[in-house]
Structure formats: structure tokens, C-alpha cells
Chain A
Amino acid sequence: MSAVARAGAVAAGRHGAKGAIRIDKVDKVYYAREGPVQAVSECSLDIRGGEICMIVGPSGCGKTTLLNAIAGFHDITGGAIYLDGEMLCGPDKPKAEPGPDRVVVFQNGALFPWKTNLENVAFGPVVQRKLTPRQAAEKARGMMVDAGLAGVEHNYPGEVSSGMRRRVEIVRALMNDPKVLLLDEPFRALDSLTKSVMHEALLEIYYKNKVTIFFITHDLEEAIFLGHRVAIMTTRPCRPKKILNVDIPHPRNYSVLTSPRFRELMEETVSAVHEEAVKAFEAGEKEM
């Protein structure tokens, strides 16, 4: 990568870049068999354009509810969410329209098993009628090569490793030129070695395609390693409890993990996360 591109990436997270998300006093109540559940309450969070914002919280705290609201999969019951100043959902329009400006990468992966990796990556522009299938395949091939996925284009997702699949899925999302990438614990199912490879791969991809990244995880180390900022969420109802500014400069690589500053940041936040985890555990929340 050129020095200019790297410098640009380092500057990411400043105001002015596209893909700023404003979450404004969002409420979400849903009705379970036991009665109403307040999943998200008075949740406000400003995510700058081009920033990697990590959302950390215990399982079932309502993080995914927030992501689903931004993506347009579920409605909200109060507040509003804006993308670059435009309202996605709010009082008059509880459910956002899903769209290619905010593409989701799912927890256990959602590559279409009946399409080859290349066809998966080319899917977005083809269904949006932005490119012909041939042009889309051409572009997809280029992006896959850039992401180190040369050679698996014509395999089915079921034929490659889970780490590869996650990478294909992230590239598939990026093919849509999204303003925001919504990642819902994308590396959760991977073993820790593959995970560490994927972290660096994700950063590489990010440095090349500066998009806003909304990244849900319950792995604090992952959060601090990747994020410009880390929002630690309270357990149900979900709202930011503490927002950590990770002042370790990008580009980062794995040597960061052993740096004193990284350890300090871990120490600063680990108790806050632990506190919520205990609360969630005691509340007996099931996996969402």
C-alpha cells in the first residue's frame, strides 16, 4: 500500500468523511412471551465517518438489536438514527429501508452456498443493476485478488476454510461501495489463530477502502486492537456505559498487542466490561 493511502487511513475517523452515523436516544421494546423487554433504552452514540467503532457488551445486551435497526431489519420504538444527517429511521418511520449503503456481515456468515465465491462477491452490483454480470465479475475478481483471495473464485463457499469465507463475505459487502460496514461478531466462530490473521486482513482492507465500520464483539482485546473508539455497552437495556478513545495510531499490526499502551487501555476497560458481564450473567440472559 502506498504511503499516501496509509496516511489517509490514519486520518480516518476525522469529521467530514462519509458514513457518519448518529444514534439519537434510541429505544427498542420488543414483546416476548414473558412480556415486554426493553432491549435498548435512550441509547445515543455518534459514529464519525470512516471510523472503526467497536461495540462491546455481553451476549444478549442488545447490541445486535441496534445493528438490526441501522441495517433496517427491525424497527425501533423511540429515538432516531441518522446516516450523514439523513434520517434512516425515527418517529415517523420506525423501520429503516435496508440498502447497499449499509451492508451487514453476519455472525455465522451468510454467503449464498449455491453461488461461487466470485458470484457471491458480484451479487450486490448485479441486483442493483449498477453493473452487468460480466463487469461485476471483473470487479469482483480484482477485489478478491486484492484481499488475498485469488484462487478460490470458482469454489463454492462450502469448499473453502471458514476464515476464507469471512474474508469473501467482507469483500462482498465492500463491493457495494457502502458508507458503513455493519459487522456482527464476524470472527466469533473462528479459532484464535485464524482470528488474529483476520484482524490484520480486516485492517488491510479498511486501509484501502475507508468506510465506517460498526463492529459488534464481546472480545475486548479485539475491540481495542481494531477500533478508533470502543463503546462499552450496558447490559439490557443497551446504552453506552463508557466510550474509550484508543489512541494507538493506525496502521496497526499485531505488535500493538504487546505494547504497554495497549495493556493500559485493557486495564482501563476490563473492569467495566466485566461488571456488565456479571450483570448479564446474573440476569440469566440467554444468547440472543
Chain B
Amino acid sequence: MSAALASAVQPRARPGRSIFRNHAVRAVISLSTFLLLWELGSRMHLPWVGDVPAPTVVMKAWLPLLSDPGYWYSWFQSSRRVLTGFLAAMLVGIPLGLVMATSRIFRDVTFPVFEILRPVPPLAWVPAAIIFWPTQELSIGFVIFLGAIFTIMLNVIGGARSIDLRFFQAARSMGASSWDIFRRIVLPGVLPSIVVGCEVGIGITWNVVVAAEMISGGGGAIQSSAGGGLGFFIWSSYIGSSYPQIVVGMISIGIAGYISSAIIRRLGRLITPWTRAR
């Protein structure tokens, strides 16, 4: 008993004293272990990993691209498309979700359509998008838009409907009008869910960017080997059988997605400061 007490009283190692406690260090360790295993697997031709170009090979393909404006133009193109499609999804999805959450009639009328369209993968929309929209850019934007909107809407609807009934009762009893309730209860109440929806949604837009761009043949961009967007970059690398470049494209999209989600998360925390209080 006393021994247990003594050990409990003993000061624990202060956070930060051990280098492993720093999460940046943990991230570096995790990434380098991953790269190392990949390199080894690739060199030793282990099953599955063997056919994937090793990280060193990928780097060799990547380095010259870093000074290729076409590669950076691909970044720009894809980011622009993702951003436009995503903003459109927010502009349409958030108000629509709010109306669906607050109006029973509207929900009853629109929800079945919403639920039928929702499971259709963005890839399946590609042919329709090409037929429906007059320009390739619009077709691409539309597919990206579809990738994000359902997630955003679902989160808005779920968030609005899970707002505690007592908040509405309290507001009503303090004399709030319906408009006040919408503005001061529903909107802030649903904001954390909007942030979550956007964070997930922007990840999905990067998921669909390959599908969206590969049909558009570069979208009329600079006709260098790269320049039609990162998704198209992967597709054309595949057509040209340059496997290391495919991996470069994959990693590039991974990084882009990570950065976008991190930005949304950061912005989200700024506009919902109270969520840190719990």
C-alpha cells in the first residue's frame, strides 16, 4: 500500500522531456518508418509492394518536376477546381440542409430524391456531367461539387436536428422571435457540424478530382506533359506508362488534401471557439 502510494506521489516525467512526447516527432517517425518499409518492400520485391516504384525512384521522378511550371500549374488547376466545386457545394448545401432540417414539408418532399442521388458515386456522374454541361470546366466542377455536397448537407441536417430542445424552449421563454431563434440558436448550434461536414467534404473533393479530370483530357490547359491538373497528371502518366510519376501524382493529391483539411480545421476552430471549452 505504502509502496503504491510512494510511486503515485513520485512526479511523472514532464511532458516534452522525452522527445517522443512531441507529436511532430511522432509524425516524422511514422512517416519515415512508412517510407523505409516501402523502400525495402519494393527493393526486395515483396508481394504487392514489389511492383510499386520505390520512394527513391519516385523522388528521382519528382525532383525534375519541382522546377517544371507545368507540374505546379497542375497543382493550381486542381486546387482551383476543388475550391470552386467545394465552395459551390457549401453555398448550395448549407442553406439547403438548413431548410431541410427546419421545414418538415420541404424535408418530406426533397429527402427521397436526396437519398436516391446520394449513393451514386461521383465517378458514375462523369458521363452525365460531360453531356449536361457546356464546357469541360463546368463538367469537372460539377463532379467535384457532387463529391462534397451530400456530406455537407447530411452534416447540416444532422447537426440542426440534434440541437437540444431546451435551447429552443429557453429562447422562446426569453421572448426570442423565430428569426432570433434561427439566427442565435440554429445557426451557431449547427456550426460545429458544418465545420465537420466541410472537413470531410473537402477530403472527398480531392478523392474525386482524378475522376473529374481524367475525362476532360486536361481541360484545355497548357498542353505540356503535365498541366491539366493533378488528377489528369496521374491519368496521363498511366497512359504514358511512367509509373513513378503516377505515385508522384498520388502523393501530391494526398498532400493537397491534407493541407486543405488542415486549413478547414483551423478555420473551423476559429469560428467555433466554444467547442474547445469541453
* A interface, CB within 8 angstroms of B: 71-73, 98-100, 102-104, 106, 108, 110, 112-115, 123-124, 127-128, 155-159, 172-173, 176
Tell whether, in the assembled complex, residue B189 and residue A158 are in contact, meaning their CB atoms are under 8 Å apart: no
Contact of B272 among A104, A108, A114, A157 (CB under 8 A): A114
Contact of A114 among B171, B172, B274 (CB under 8 A): B274
Tell whether, in the assembled complex, residue A128 and residue B277 are in contact, meaning their CB atoms are under 8 Å apart: no
Does B30 sit within 8 A of A, measured CB to CB?
no
Which residues does chain B contribute within 8 Å of A113, judged by CB atoms? 274, 277-278
Contact of B175 among A106, A128, A156, A159 (CB under 8 A): A128
Which residues does chain B contribute within 8 Å of A73, judged by CB atoms? 169, 172-173
Contact of B274 among A72, A103, A158 (CB under 8 A): A158
Which residues does chain B contribute within 8 Å of A156, judged by CB atoms? 273-274, 277
Tell whether, in the assembled complex, residue A103 and residue B174 are in contact, meaning their CB atoms are under 8 Å apart: yes
Bound-state CA distance A104–B166 (Å) is: 10
For this complex, into which size category does the number of interface residues on chain B fall? 20 to 34
- Taking the closest CB of chain B, its distance from the CB of A126, in whole angstroms, is 9
Given A106-B166, A112-B185, is A176 in contact with B277 using a C-beta cutoff of 8 Å? Answer: no
Specify the main secondary structure of chain B where it touches its partner: helix
Does B103 sit within 8 A of A, measured CB to CB?
no
Query: What's the count of A-B pairs with C-beta under 8 Å?
Result: 73
- Taking the closest CB of chain B, its distance from the CB of A53, in whole angstroms, is 19
**What 6 A-B pairs are tightest by C-beta distance, nearest first?**
A158-B277, A114-B188, A110-B166, A124-B174, A156-B277, A110-B170
Tell whether, in the assembled complex, residue B174 and residue A158 are in contact, meaning their CB atoms are under 8 Å apart: no
Does B180 sit within 8 A of A, measured CB to CB?
yes
Does B258 sit within 8 A of A, measured CB to CB?
no
Tell whether, in the assembled complex, residue A106 and residue B277 are in contact, meaning their CB atoms are under 8 Å apart: no
Bound-state CA distance A72–B171 (Å) is: 12
Given A114-B189, A127-B180, A158-B278, is A106 in contact with B170 using a C-beta cutoff of 8 Å? Answer: yes
Does B83 sit within 8 A of A, measured CB to CB?
no
Tell whether, in the assembled complex, residue A127 and residue B277 are in contact, meaning their CB atoms are under 8 Å apart: no
12 A-B interface contacts by CB (under 8 A): A71-B173, A100-B174, A103-B174, A108-B166, A110-B166, A110-B170, A114-B188, A124-B174, A127-B171, A127-B177, A159-B277, A172-B174
Does B269 sit within 8 A of A, measured CB to CB?
no
- Taking the closest CB of chain A, its distance from the CB of B114, in whole angstroms, is 27
- Taking the closest CB of chain B, its distance from the CB of A186, in whole angstroms, is 12
Tell whether, in the assembled complex, residue B272 and residue A99 are in contact, meaning their CB atoms are under 8 Å apart: no
Which residues does chain A contribute within 8 Å of B176, judged by CB atoms? 123, 127
Instruction: A110-B169, A124-B175, A127-B175 are known; give 13 further A-B pairs, CB within 8 A.
Output: A73-B172, A98-B173, A100-B174, A103-B173, A112-B167, A113-B278, A114-B272, A123-B176, A124-B174, A127-B176, A155-B277, A157-B277, A158-B274
Does B266 sit within 8 A of A, measured CB to CB?
no
Which residues does chain B contribute within 8 Å of A176, judged by CB atoms? 174-175
Question: What residue in chain B is nearest A173 (Cβ atoms)?
Answer: B174
Tell whether, in the assembled complex, residue B173 and residue A99 are in contact, meaning their CB atoms are under 8 Å apart: yes
Best-buried of B166, B170, B185, B272 by chain A (most CB within 10 Å)? B170
Bound-state CA distance A108–B167 (Å) is: 11
- Taking the closest CB of chain B, its distance from the CB of A180, in whole angstroms, is 11
In the complex, chain B residues 159-192 whose Cβ is within 8 Å of any chain A Cβ: 164, 166-167, 169-177, 180, 184-185, 188-189, 191
Bound-state CA distance A72–B173 (Å) is: 8
